[in-house]
Chains A and B, each alone.
Chain A
Amino acid sequence: MTSGIVFDIKEFTVHDGPGVRTTVFLKGCPLACMWCHNPEGQSMQPQVIRSLSGDRVAGSEYSARELAILLNQQAAILRANDGGITFSGGEPLFQAEFVSEVIDALDDLHVVLDTSGYGSSEDFLLLLARSDLVFYDLKLINRELHLYYTGFDNGLILNNLQLLSESGKPFIIRVPLIPGVTDTDENLTAIVKTVGKLPGLVEVNFLPYNRAAGSKYQYAGMEFKPDYDEKRPLNINTKIFEQAGLKVKST
């Protein structure tokens, strides 16, 4: 049985999918987005988080079986309240085998996969087959900008997006709005062009930039170095999507 590393298991995550859900945050992500709001999710190593409410270690190892048993303790409650489990991160694709084994051992629970899409096609298909709904992040369509802001180009991401659409599974595109970076009309237009005609697309969600994210870095002993202007007002341009006939929400 595979084991994996998790940096948090949060109950009652009201913004992570339908109904009453628990979200598992997998630790470790290949990307290093400049605006990442879960910096403790980047490294796979356990980290000490020092905050107002004391110190704690983020990162615990579970066997797939252990984690499934833990999650199944609330299966009846989650099912009775239209919910289930959301796998987020970090990046669940980074521990795809572990996550797939956990899902296989779940007691008939609705699964949301919350992913950046950055992973091999094999890993992506492994988890896609086991998910009921996918939250798929699209940050930047321009290849060079993607490389600059996240550390990698978006080839794998756009490729997996194609596989996702072909699978027939419902999915929601989530766009983190970073001032002057992802919220430009140019980028938003490119996103519309990329996803507009894809079957299976339920809606597009904007995730407006949260300036509080930066404060988490110091608690995790990391440095926050944005090279964009955090204070610049966001361009929450939902019209570009609506004009293309897409449903869009800003949370």
Chain B
Amino acid sequence: MNERVVFLKHRIRTGEHKVLRQGKSIDLLEECEKEGLSWTRRAARLVHRQCEAERVVFEPEERIVFTRTVPGVPPVYSAVDWSRLTAGRTLHELGPVSNICADWDLLLSQGLLGRREVAVNTHSRLEGDASAVEFLDSAVETIDAVLELASRYAEQASLLCRDDLAAVLESVPAHPAHSFREALQSLRMCQAVVWLGGNYHVGLGRFDQYMWPFLQSDLQAGFLTIPDAEELLAEFFISLNKDSDLYPGVQQGDNGQSMTLGGVKSNGSPAINELTKMVLRIACDLELIDPKINLRISPQTDLELLCLASELTRKGLGFPQYSNDDVVIPALVAHGYDLEDARDYVVAACWEFIIPGRGMEIVNSGAVSFPAAVDQAIRVGLSDGMEFDDILSRTAENIRAQVNHLGEVYSRLLLPPTPYYSVFMRGCLEQGHDLSEGLKYNNFGIHGACSANAADALAAVKQFVFDEHSLSAEEVLSALQANFEGYESLRRKLGEEGPKVGSNDDRADALLVNLFEDFAAACEDYGLTPRGGILRPGTGSAMYYIWLASGHEGMREPVVEATADGRVSGEPFSANLAPSPGVRVRGPISTLQSFSKIDFHRVCNGGPITMELSDSVFRNPESIRKVAMLVRIFAQLGCQQLQLNSLNVETLLDAKAHPEKHKNLIVRVWGWSGYFCELAPEYQDHIIARSLYQVE
């Protein structure tokens, strides 16, 4: 990092740019009511007025511009109208379309004027189709708003004699990008406006694919050297961190600005290029929470690339996250995706596999609570004197009921119109329909949360009550009902002596596999949703490892009390695919072997195996190479997704006690990374607890 980049990063981290923010949000309601605008029109007007309200900001030294000054996103309906509009319908999370990915190449290759022309042509073709006309007019209104914003930036740049900047801004985003710098600038502005319109978890897609042609031709023509390109890239990454605190999310940092690197092209040939490596290097230098990086690999991936990626893991940012093309692509094909599209997959905000520009999928439409399904079956089974197989059948029924319930809730899904975001999706402007009406892929994803605790609970009951008869059903039931108070030795037996997921022990792993088979079967049997998609089962748990244990306002799932794996009420569950908290497993290879037993062709929504490595593992290049080998083993074993973290428990404890000394400490939380000191205490504690069982 040179001095300029250090300066720019420092400015963002200290938040000096925030003083430029305006005091309050704009008000749109009166205008919308007066003109009697439709919802689509209101959505367009929102983007229009937000762009108009933006002040032009040039931060000292910066070359990739746009700094958000409008703090909030105002409502387009009054509270009364909003509740009438949404009555009886399901809103996904906060309401607006989120957690999808645009095809940014549409912007870079056509420019906003090119996209506008498409809209105008379709408009004249579909003159009689009122809804198409309205959508296209709205999309054009948003395009014009962004163009106007860009011209104000260009004019200001001229006035300030920043001729280079003025030239870039006169060219993009209006026109197709002609250089790496123009491409970065165009993306920065147009992606930021998606956030301005109230959409969130705005993905960056296959950055090393759509950006590479611009960089490649600049390098070939001698317009850029590698260090110049790295500096521009660093500036772009820094710009992505400017507005993080304005993004909505469960915790700050949960913002879905993820990019996906590597893998194969849509024709199946290798997609790794110089930019893939440059992104890894620059992310390593900058140590910022955005962009969050996913790397697509296979068992054949070059170990040198994995070494570079492991250098990034060493920084403790919690990324890159890996996905295994050899598993993900066939799984997507098995779920109805065209092979070329499947090969083009990216990872959404956390871990779900989606197709840029072609998917209006709700990949995180809630979670099946495995602990709830299992716990209910165990309690009923033990009190009714059932056989173990009956407990398993009851578990399967419970899972099915939860899946059907989620399916039913989401069958009433209401997606707000999103004309601006539609500009960057395949077919919307071409056919005159908003992305909220659906794209090529319209599936829902459901996570299967906290699976390790659930499987361990089943394994303990099977082992001690049914196989060994060393515990009676009554004892276990009373202990559960008493939250193990007065049953400490029984709790220890369940918690420490039972078979556990993560040690390559078939007694526990088979039950884990079974849970996902039941889950996949329930999703398959559910059939199509009213949006014409399927339910995709996944292996993630997002914030559910905390919520299912201690509850959360508005949560649909029940809170689970003490469980038969020896967990007392209130203790968090396992996150994603990880051994239950507090369980001592044989080691990382055994853990990978345990999770490799899941049939990932049936369970394709994503959700990583999550592992903590002590920072001492990263001591020298030789040991970092071994971390790269561990990643390769993950792929060799046929696992789907991996998230590796580097942690030092003393640092975390010190950060909790003295947050002022650790403002820049970044940790992986669930599917995303954030600043440790900006997390709620229960999330901090879970990370500290996780690190106590890490590999040394």
CA distance A15 to B619 in the complex (A): 9
Q: Which of B586, B620, B629, B632 contacts A11 (CB 8 A)?
A: B586
Task: Take A52-B692, A53-B582, A53-B693 as given contacts and tell me if A11 and B633 are in contact as well, using a CB distance cutoff of 8 Å.
Answer: no
Question: Using Cβ atoms and an 8 Å threshold, which residues of chain B touch A53?
Answer: 582, 584, 692-693
CB distance from A81 to the nearest CB of B (A): 4
CB distance from A41 to the nearest CB of B (A): 15
A12 pairs with B636, CB closer than 8 A: no
B588 at interface (Cβ–Cβ under 8 A)? yes
Q: Which of A12, A52, A81 contacts B587 (CB 8 A)?
A: A12
Task: Take A20-B630, A54-B582, A251-B619 as given contacts and tell me if A12 and B588 are in contact as well, using a CB distance cutoff of 8 Å.
Answer: yes
Interface centre among B620, B633, B637 (most CB of A within 10 A): B633
**B630 nearest in chain A by CB position:** A12
Main DSSP-derived SS at the A contact region: loop
The B-contacting residues of A in range 77-107, CB under 8 angstroms, are 77, 80-83
B623 at interface (Cβ–Cβ under 8 A)? yes
A81 pairs with B590, CB closer than 8 A: no
B617 at interface (Cβ–Cβ under 8 A)? yes
A81 pairs with B629, CB closer than 8 A: yes
A231 at interface (Cβ–Cβ under 8 A)? no
The B-contacting residues of A in range 1-59, CB under 8 angstroms, are 9-12, 14-15, 19-20, 22, 52-54, 56
CA distance A73 to B503 in the complex (A): 12
Task: Take A14-B623, A15-B623, A74-B589 as given contacts and tell me if A80 and B693 are in contact as well, using a CB distance cutoff of 8 Å.
Answer: no
CB distance from B283 to the nearest CB of A (A): 23
The A-contacting residues of B in range 548-605, CB under 8 angstroms, are 582, 584, 586-590, 593
CB distance from B304 to the nearest CB of A (A): 15
Question: Using Cβ atoms and an 8 Å threshold, which residues of chain A touch B623?
Answer: 14-15
B695 at interface (Cβ–Cβ under 8 A)? yes
Question: Using Cβ atoms and an 8 Å threshold, which residues of chain A touch B632?
Answer: 81
Please, what's the 1-or-0 string for B656-696, where 1 marks a CB less than 8 Å from any CB in chain A? Answer: 00000000000000000000000000000000000011011
B483 at interface (Cβ–Cβ under 8 A)? no
B629 pairs with A20, CB closer than 8 A: yes
CB distance from A184 to the nearest CB of B (A): 26
CA distance A9 to B626 in the complex (A): 18
CA distance A19 to B695 in the complex (A): 16
CB distance from B168 to the nearest CB of A (A): 46
A19 pairs with B629, CB closer than 8 A: yes
Question: Using Cβ atoms and an 8 Å threshold, which residues of chain B touch A10?
Answer: 587, 696
CA distance A124 to B688 in the complex (A): 43
B504 at interface (Cβ–Cβ under 8 A)? yes
CA distance A110 to B620 in the complex (A): 22
CB distance from A191 to the nearest CB of B (A): 23
CB distance from A48 to the nearest CB of B (A): 12
A19 pairs with B582, CB closer than 8 A: no
Interface residue count for B (Cβ, 8 Å)?
27
CA distance A56 to B583 in the complex (A): 11
CB distance from A5 to the nearest CB of B (A): 18
Question: Using Cβ atoms and an 8 Å threshold, which residues of chain A touch B496?
Answer: 54, 56
Task: Take A53-B582, A80-B636 as given contacts and tell me if A11 and B589 are in contact as well, using a CB distance cutoff of 8 Å.
Answer: yes
Task: Take A12-B589, A20-B626 as given contacts and tell me if A77 and B633 are in contact as well, using a CB distance cutoff of 8 Å.
Answer: yes
**B649 nearest in chain A by CB position:** A52
CA distance A9 to B590 in the complex (A): 12
B636 pairs with A11, CB closer than 8 A: no
CB distance from A172 to the nearest CB of B (A): 13
CB distance from A212 to the nearest CB of B (A): 10
**A70 nearest in chain B by CB position:** B586
A19 pairs with B626, CB closer than 8 A: yes
**A73 nearest in chain B by CB position:** B504
CB distance from B12 to the nearest CB of A (A): 35
Task: Take A20-B629, A53-B693 as given contacts and tell me if A11 and B584 are in contact as well, using a CB distance cutoff of 8 Å.
Answer: no
A20 pairs with B619, CB closer than 8 A: no
Question: Using Cβ atoms and an 8 Å threshold, which residues of chain B touch A54?
Answer: 496, 582
CB distance from B333 to the nearest CB of A (A): 27
CA distance A12 to B616 in the complex (A): 12
Question: Using Cβ atoms and an 8 Å threshold, which residues of chain A touch B692?
Answer: 52-53
Question: Using Cβ atoms and an 8 Å threshold, which residues of chain B touch A56?
Answer: 496, 584
CB distance from B685 to the nearest CB of A (A): 13
Question: Using Cβ atoms and an 8 Å threshold, which residues of chain A touch B633?
Answer: 20, 77, 80-81
Question: Using Cβ atoms and an 8 Å threshold, which residues of chain A touch B636?
Answer: 77, 80
**A82 nearest in chain B by CB position:** B629
CB distance from B500 to the nearest CB of A (A): 13
Question: Using Cβ atoms and an 8 Å threshold, which residues of chain B touch A19?
Answer: 626, 629
Question: Using Cβ atoms and an 8 Å threshold, which residues of chain A touch B586?
Answer: 9, 11
The B-contacting residues of A in range 222-240, CB under 8 angstroms, are none
CA distance A82 to B692 in the complex (A): 29
CB distance from B588 to the nearest CB of A (A): 5
Question: Using Cβ atoms and an 8 Å threshold, which residues of chain A touch B593?
Answer: 73-74
Please, what's the 1-or-0 string for A128-169, where 1 marks a CB less than 8 Å from any CB in chain B? Answer: 000000000000000000000000000000000000000000
**B689 nearest in chain A by CB position:** A53
**A23 nearest in chain B by CB position:** B587
Question: Using Cβ atoms and an 8 Å threshold, which residues of chain A touch B589?
Answer: 11-12, 20, 22, 74, 77
Question: Using Cβ atoms and an 8 Å threshold, which residues of chain B touch A14?
Answer: 617, 619, 622-623, 626-627
Please, what's the 1-or-0 string for B600-640, where 1 marks a CB less than 8 Å from any CB in chain A? Answer: 00000000000000000101101100110110110011000
CA distance A113 to B493 in the complex (A): 36
The B-contacting residues of A in range 196-251, CB under 8 angstroms, are 251
Task: Take A20-B629, A56-B584 as given contacts and tell me if A11 and B590 are in contact as well, using a CB distance cutoff of 8 Å.
Answer: yes
Question: Using Cβ atoms and an 8 Å threshold, which residues of chain A touch B587?
Answer: 9-12, 22
Interface centre among A10, A14, A22, A251 (most CB of B within 10 A): A14
Question: Using Cβ atoms and an 8 Å threshold, which residues of chain B touch A11?
Answer: 586-590, 695
Please, what's the 1-or-0 string for B316-333, where 1 marks a CB less than 8 Å from any CB in chain A? Answer: 000000000000000000
CA distance A20 to B587 in the complex (A): 12
Question: Using Cβ atoms and an 8 Å threshold, which residues of chain B touch A52?
Answer: 692
**B637 nearest in chain A by CB position:** A77
CA distance A23 to B620 in the complex (A): 19
**B587 nearest in chain A by CB position:** A11
Question: Using Cβ atoms and an 8 Å threshold, which residues of chain A touch B588?
Answer: 11-12
CA distance A80 to B693 in the complex (A): 27
CA distance A197 to B693 in the complex (A): 44
CB distance from B306 to the nearest CB of A (A): 12
**A51 nearest in chain B by CB position:** B692
CA distance A231 to B584 in the complex (A): 33
Question: Using Cβ atoms and an 8 Å threshold, which residues of chain A touch B620?
Answer: 251
Question: Using Cβ atoms and an 8 Å threshold, which residues of chain A touch B693?
Answer: 53
CA distance A81 to B632 in the complex (A): 9
CA distance A207 to B482 in the complex (A): 51
CB distance from B291 to the nearest CB of A (A): 29
CA distance A9 to B585 in the complex (A): 11
CA distance A217 to B632 in the complex (A): 37
**B611 nearest in chain A by CB position:** A12
**B623 nearest in chain A by CB position:** A14
Please, what's the 1-or-0 string for B468-511, where 1 marks a CB less than 8 Å from any CB in chain A? Answer: 00000000000000000000000000001000000010000000
Please, what's the 1-or-0 string for A63-76, where 1 marks a CB less than 8 Å from any CB in chain B? Answer: 00000000001100
**A57 nearest in chain B by CB position:** B496
CA distance A54 to B504 in the complex (A): 22
Question: Using Cβ atoms and an 8 Å threshold, which residues of chain B touch A80?
Answer: 633, 636
CA distance A1 to B623 in the complex (A): 36
Interface residues, chain A, CB within 8 Å of chain B? Answer: 9-12, 14-15, 19-20, 22, 52-54, 56, 73-74, 77, 80-83, 251
Top 3 A-B residue pairs of the complex, sorted by shortest distance between their CB atoms = A11-B587, A14-B623, A81-B629
In addition to A10-B696, A74-B590, A251-B619, 4 A-B residue pairs with Cβ atoms within 8 Å of each other are A22-B587, A54-B496, A74-B589, A83-B629
Jot down 28 A-B pairs with beta carbons below 8 A, ordered by A. Answer: A10-B587, A10-B696, A11-B589, A11-B590, A12-B587, A12-B588, A12-B589, A14-B617, A14-B622, A14-B623, A14-B626, A19-B629, A20-B630, A20-B633, A52-B692, A53-B584, A53-B692, A53-B693, A54-B496, A56-B584, A73-B504, A74-B589, A74-B590, A77-B633, A77-B636, A80-B633, A81-B633, A251-B619
